[in-house]
Structure 1
Amino acid sequence: MRAAGAAALPWIEVARGAPYFVEEGGADWHPIGQNDAISWVELDPLFRRRDVAAVDRHLAMLKAHGVTVLRLMMEYAQVRHRYMERPAGTFPPNMVQLWDDLFALCENHGLRILLTPYDTFWMWLHFRHHPYAAARGGPLPHPSQALTDPAMRAAIKARLSFATARWGGSGALFAWDVWNEIHPAQGGDSADAFDEFIADIGGHLRAEEMRLHGRSHPQTVSIFGPELVWRPHLAMEGAIFRHPALDAATVHIYEQGTIDDPRDTVGAALGMGRIVRECIGEIADRRPFFDSEHGPIHAFKDKHRKIPEDFDDEYFRHMQWAHLAAGGAGGGMRWPNRKPHVLTAGMRRAQRGLAAFVPSIDWARFDRRSVGPEIVVTDAEGSTVGEDRMARFACASRDQAVVYLLGRDRLDARGMLRRDGPPFRLAVSVPGLDAGRYRVSCWDTVAGRNVAPPTEQDGATPFVLPAFDGDAAVAIRRCGD
């Protein structure tokens, strides 16, 4: 279904000198997108080819709003008619056709897919219905053995072999999330199997791709972030952040209270920025880090609390910029947690604004450190502005920096940022920058454009910003680089 004469989509790689992604030709590439599902309203018309044109229009809209990637599960086990195998080992033609069409459409629109082979959440909850259940002739006696059962290992490898043989040659495949939300419960309430499981499954997939395609797509394994807090004694960080078989680190950032059940839009950003910084601190090499799932999951799923759209838009936008500025690749990937499961128009505008900002930095050589707490903010009189008034998120190298400033003392009764007060007139000092002249761009995150034309300033003094309301993102880049 690729358009006639269309060039093949370049593969995505990890940049050689920085913890970000590039296209195979070297152009910067950022994971800007969200989680979707083949049974949700925007992609569901692909099933049995009911309305391929509607999905084509949807993907065109995503591209126009700066979206570059969708995170998708090969099957969505909440429902029983989207299994990738039925019975185990047999791939239904309707599902294969759906994925054929989706990859072709994504190639046409220049979109990529972060693909994970199983919906482990609903697979566990609805296991009695799943084709992999031993009671239904499948390989697995119980999902608590998913990481350790030899027959299950063989089934996982067979599915991944089928998938990469059919779709792995496409540049529309960004990366593999080899296992969605790896969890001790899947290994008999132990994390002891994590390292060996990742090496075995990831190694098999990489060997298959090298055999079939002569190269391999990036790999990651995700985890439900709160598990790292709840079970520190299991020391899962090594497998997630430092496993030698993985190319990138991903976490599902669902901090309790601030993010999973938000009451204000600033606390969520503070949580996102802090966790991104902590995660980057766990990484010992230049692999990229990004959040591959976040959102108000507890409010939506457990409390059935409907979050007003304007609040949700601001919550989304603040977290997106905190993620990028703290050093994450892209803006994080929202799980919609709305009814229906779609992002709002305001969230799409926020993604478009982020996509318009990122060309301000040369990411392929941005070997950044996460330096948010080290940023000094001063007001027009030269007095230091405390973090209780102005939150700051930042990452920097020797000649570039990204800073996000977010007012903390202007929340209204609904927990949203007031923008009717006097504008902020601030300057920022970034540690570790080399001497020289720098181009400074201050970005209006609501409007998705520069607050004022970029300026050239001396790096020996604080960078003076134009007046802004509420929040602003700042790109700092040495002139001539």
Structure 2
Amino acid sequence: MKTASWTAFLLCLVPAIARAQLSVEADARGVIEARVGGTAYLSDLAVSVVAPGWSGDLANQRAVDPAAVKVHREGATTTYTMPLAGGALSGLLIERIVRDKDGATLEFEVIPDREVELEAVLLRGSLATAEHAGKTAYLVDDPDGARGVLPASLDADRHIAWSGEPDWLGLERPGAGGLRISPQGARLQLQDDRKWNAPHFSLLAMTSGGEVLARKPIRLGVALRAEAAGALAQEAAKPVPAAGTDDRPLAIVAPRLDRDRVDVFATVTLDADVHARYDNPFDPEQIAVDAEILAPDGRKVDAPGYYHVPFRLETRGRAESLKVAGAPGFRVRYAPTVAGAHRITLKVKDASGEVRAEPLTFTAVASKSPGFVRVAPKSPRYFAFDDGSSYFAVGENVCWANGRNPLATYGAWFEGLGKAGGNWARLWLAFNEKGLEWSPAPTPKGGIGAYQGLGRYALDNAWRLDEVLRIAEANGIRLMYCIGTYGEFKDGGFFNEGSWISNPYNARNGGPCARPEDFWTDPTARKLYKQRLRYLTARWGHSPFVFAWEFWNEVEPSPVVEAWTSEMAAYLKAIDPNRRLVSTSYGSPPIWNDSNVDFTMTHMYGQGGGTLDFTDRIQGETHANLKFGKPYLLAEFGIDWQAGDEKWDPEGRGLNMHNGAWASIASGAAGTSMLWWWDGYVHPKNVYHVLTPVRSFVDSIDWARNPMKPLGKIAVEAPADAPETFADLTISSSQGWGRTPSNRYTALRDGTIEGGPVATTLGSPRRGGDGKELYSEVAWTLDLPEAGKVLVRIGEVCTAARLRIALDGREVVDRALPAGEPGKGPWKGARLLEPYKVWVADYDEDVAVEVPAGRHALTIANADGDWMQVKSITLPAYRSSRFPDVDALGIAGDDLMVLWVHDRRSTWRDPYAGEPPVPRKGLKLAVPTDSTDAWRVEWWDTFRGVVVRTDEARAGAGALTLAPPDFERDLAARIARTP
């Protein structure tokens, strides 16, 4: 048995106000104990790598054999290098203890040998309850000013004392010096481990998880510093003040405008000293501040006001902090939409009555601003500005920044996006650094910012959102504000996104809802949500750079959700002076048909790199949504819902983003496919370049005045003198979950599929749900030129399944497919589906079926168990070379057509697999049209955004026949009727 020896580093720190002594001791594995004087603040401090879903450790520093650890000392630095191994992970851990005159910095690098999926890298140290429970105080230098005492006894529902990304967190035991912990590249969490029957508290420093590439280091660390007794409390940030109260007689004092002359669509701000009686300045039933505007055209407009606290931004190193910079007050923002003299009157109402100020005047002058984005009146499947010019959305998601410098981060993102031609981005206003309403710390799923609970808003985050909007406007980017997300109403989840435990609407937090589903029907919950909508409209509704309000991210529609959405959309339209666009996700026919919901949206991902080309899915989703007669956006998009596009495109070529954008354009969407992976892919790999040629192309089209609809099938033919050959055809399933419109498909010789999109997941008849969620079988009609083996590729299996395949009604395959832990069966991998505590096994296996030549029916079914995936089928020698493997998508109006011609071999996997593009030569297109007119055809290089050739062509016999230039990967066409 080996015994770990101890190496001690004693660091004597002498602050000016008193002496405090920090001792950092590390054993042979580098496991640390940190003391200040005689108090052990952090014991057993070491790194572990956590498996997805917090289902255990992939590797743990504490389990490393000391004999395998190499120790190197040089000057003030001691370095420990050791192997990490366990389960799916193998790699290296490098730990450095760096001493300086002020303390010690602990740096850690985890370097995996191979690609691995993980939940987090975790640096954990413990505080013994016998020494610290009921005694040791914690203080956080953060806007919420969190502070408290580690509890004497466990509160199982409040086991997380604090969680966030502070400048520092301090611990101080009475009568002892304190310990300051400053995170580096990590989020901190202080929790009570007695919840799991462990006799200690834990301080966790953790990174985010996901797919990690081989040899890509994951870095985190903390800086430790001893402090004299009481010093931490003196230095800790003063918390953002709670919302004010007032008990003065109702009055308006000194109303004032920030300017008396303003551009049309720019903002004028009205401030005043307001006296009233209230204890919640956000509750319009206690105090309502509004402005009444009389426009020069005679219209009367009501604009709601809001309560605010001014802040200033301070930066220390790269860390940002917000400091209160003045007195709180009430304010109204308004953007005039017409030129001329305006009269604005402030009015305030409380329980005692209403008072009105004397009117003030300002003049709006004509400007170059195009105004707010609307649905185009003449082309209602597209967007237009107030001045009638077109707006085609080109952009991505940038939902949160987190980190210690969110404003600088947004500045970098928006600069990159704007310079590339992007004009649209989506933000989340959930409980991140821009959120308004959440449970205050301490709470198990804490947010970022000075949250004040239900019906009261985080004013530091509101100021930060002001700045984010200002940065976006400076870069020409309009923002869609997504107000909430489905995770607020659940627990668990693949990404551990469930947050109902900390939702302020939860009755256990003092809210009105005993269950998540009560949120949609409870009168108090609906009233409080409308109150938040009023605040959003009052504070940001003035800006033309707020593109739209999106109620939810990925909340599943139901009758009560549909009724709620209708109610809230009508309310928003009633209180928003500018009646900006409104939408939500997910939608349903009742939602999309609502007159107050302006555009439709969906989200689209593959899984595990199984979808190479999303073109058919994008076209199908777009066409299905266009039937509602409204603009459509594919608002989230990515290769793999579980891992960023950087996993599949490590060089940042951007082919998936490129193909998605052009497929959306040519299918009839009102914007590009909005990629999700902004922070780990688009920005660090500078994939913004994909959008530059897209913007050049869409700016060449007047979408607002050219209503267009999808074209019928565009025939693509190879050169007539080429011999006919047949190649294998692989048909990837295109809808990862849920029932598709049909489960019966026909594979044509040109490679297209009738009846698609193709369902991926089959649920057994025993699964429940009356088969409404998943089909139990899919049926294929095939016509093989010659006999051969059809390959059915099996993907993931949840719990168990039973694969049955029938050919022309005769069963040819009957196979049980169990699931279990990794390495315990015939599957290639497995993951624990944490919310349900069941195993999902990935078979990634082809099942062969001998099929004779000719026409046949092939049925693939899941006869038992839970669910299974059919990822693809491959048909031998099926595709005729007379029909090239090329997509031709198009939309057309009376005088304009848009085409995208795409070699289906050009996918994100080409550069991933090192496969060079192969030129397409001599193709012919037959574009369906009733026209017999002449057309001017501009052929566009989609990677450079320039016209490479211009042709003249005349339509006839039901088609416009075109001969595109030779191309690699894809090209686009803008086709205009010749006058």
| Alignment correspondent of 2:593 | 242
TM-superposed CA distance for 1:44, in Å, is 4.9
Higher helix share: 1
Given that 2:681 and 2:687 are in contact with CA atoms closer than 8 Å, whether structure 1 keeps it comes out as no
Given that 2:416 and 2:683 are in contact with CA atoms closer than 8 Å, whether structure 1 keeps it comes out as no
Alignment of 1:237-316 (within 5 A): 237-254=588-605, 259-263=606-610, 265-266=612-613, 268-281=614-627, 283=628, 285=629, 287-300=630-643, 306-310=647-651, 313-316=654-657
The higher relative CO (CA closer than 8 Å, separation ≥ 6) is in 1
* Stretches of structure 2 lacking an aligned partner (at least 5 in a row): 1-257, 267-368, 434-444, 491-497, 723-749, 751-880
Q: Compared with structure 1, are the counterparts of its residues 149 and 432 closer, same or farther at alpha carbon in structure 2 (3 Å cutoff)?
A: farther
The CA distance in 2 between the partners of 1:410 and 1:333, in whole Å, is 20
TM-score, with length taken from structure 1:
0.81
Task: Classify the secondary structure of the residue corresponding to 2:692.
Answer: helix
| Equivalent of 1:60 in 415, 418, 423 | 415
TM-superposed CA distance for 1:12, in Å, is 0.3
Query: What letter matches 1:25 in structure 2?
Result: D
The CA distance in 1 between the partners of 2:610 and 2:683, in whole Å, is 19
> Equivalent pairs: percent with the same residue?
22
Residue by residue over 1:164-183, the C-alpha shift from the partner in whole angstroms, topping out at 9 and shown as x without a partner, is: 11110110111111232231
**Structure 1 residue 449 corresponds to structure 2 residue 816:** no
**Structure 1 residue 216 corresponds to structure 2 residue 579:** yes
| Equivalent of 2:543 in 156, 170, 178 | 170
Q: Compared with structure 1, are the counterparts of its residues 150 and 123 closer, same or farther at alpha carbon in structure 2 (3 Å cutoff)?
A: same
Task: Classify the secondary structure of the residue corresponding to 1:178.
Answer: strand
Q: Which has the larger radius of gyration?
A: 2
Residue by residue over 1:219-249, the C-alpha shift from the partner in whole angstroms, topping out at 9 and shown as x without a partner, is: 11211xxxxxxxxxxxx73124322221111
Query: What letter matches 1:222 in structure 2?
Result: S
Q: Compared with structure 1, are the counterparts of its residues 308 and 342 closer, same or farther at alpha carbon in structure 2 (3 Å cutoff)?
A: closer
Q: Compared with structure 1, are the counterparts of its residues 243 and 415 closer, same or farther at alpha carbon in structure 2 (3 Å cutoff)?
A: farther
The CA distance in 2 between the partners of 1:62 and 1:356, in whole Å, is 14
| Equivalent of 1:70 in 419, 425, 437 | 425
Query: What letter matches 2:897 in structure 1?
Result: A
| Alignment correspondent of 1:94 | 460
Higher strand share: 2
| Alignment correspondent of 1:188 | none
The CA distance in 1 between the partners of 2:945 and 2:602, in whole Å, is 27
The CA distance in 2 between the partners of 1:424 and 1:389, in whole Å, is 13
Query: What letter matches 2:466 in structure 1?
Result: D
Residue by residue over 1:311-369, the C-alpha shift from the partner in whole angstroms, topping out at 9 and shown as x without a partner, is: 77212211221111111111121111x76364464631111111011123221123222
Task: Classify the secondary structure of the residue corresponding to 1:207.
Answer: helix
| Alignment correspondent of 2:570 | 203
Task: Classify the secondary structure of the residue corresponding to 1:96.
Answer: helix
| Alignment correspondent of 1:81 | 447
| Alignment correspondent of 2:895 | 399
Query: What letter matches 2:918 in structure 1?
Result: G
TM-superposed CA distance for 1:82, in Å, is 3.1
**Structure 1 residue 114 corresponds to structure 2 residue 476:** no
Task: Classify the secondary structure of the residue corresponding to 1:193.
Answer: helix
Q: What do you get for the CA RMSD once the two structures are aligned?
A: 3.2
Residue by residue over 1:69-110, the C-alpha shift from the partner in whole angstroms, topping out at 9 and shown as x without a partner, is: 111111245972336952111112211111111222222332
Q: Which stretch shows the higher mean deviation, 382-391 or 58-67?
A: 382-391
Q: Which stretch shows the higher mean deviation, 132-141 or 98-107?
A: 132-141
Alignment length (residue pairs): 437
| Equivalent of 1:358 in 673, 690, 698 | 698
Query: What letter matches 2:634 in structure 1?
Result: D
| Equivalent of 1:31 in 393, 402, 410 | 393
| Equivalent of 1:13 in 357, 371, 374 | 374
Query: What letter matches 1:156 in structure 2?
Result: Y
The CA distance in 2 between the partners of 1:347 and 1:413, in whole Å, is 17
The CA distance in 2 between the partners of 1:342 and 1:415, in whole Å, is 16
TM-superposed CA distance for 1:402, in Å, is 1.5
Q: Compared with structure 1, are the counterparts of its residues 16 and 150 closer, same or farther at alpha carbon in structure 2 (3 Å cutoff)?
A: same
The CA distance in 1 between the partners of 2:594 and 2:513, in whole Å, is 26
TM-superposed CA distance for 1:391, in Å, is 1.5
Query: What letter matches 2:585 in structure 1?
Result: S
Q: Which stretch shows the higher mean deviation, 289-298 or 412-421?
A: 412-421
The CA distance in 2 between the partners of 1:112 and 1:414, in whole Å, is 32
| Alignment correspondent of 2:179 | none
TM-score, with length taken from structure 2:
0.42
The CA distance in 2 between the partners of 1:427 and 1:88, in whole Å, is 63
Given that 1:265 and 1:314 are in contact with CA atoms closer than 8 Å, whether structure 2 keeps it comes out as no
TM-superposed CA distance for 1:126, in Å, is 1.4
| Alignment correspondent of 2:668 | 327
The CA distance in 1 between the partners of 2:538 and 2:531, in whole Å, is 11
Given that 2:652 and 2:681 are in contact with CA atoms closer than 8 Å, whether structure 1 keeps it comes out as no
The CA distance in 2 between the partners of 1:418 and 1:73, in whole Å, is 38
* Stretches of structure 1 lacking an aligned partner (at least 5 in a row): 185-190, 224-235
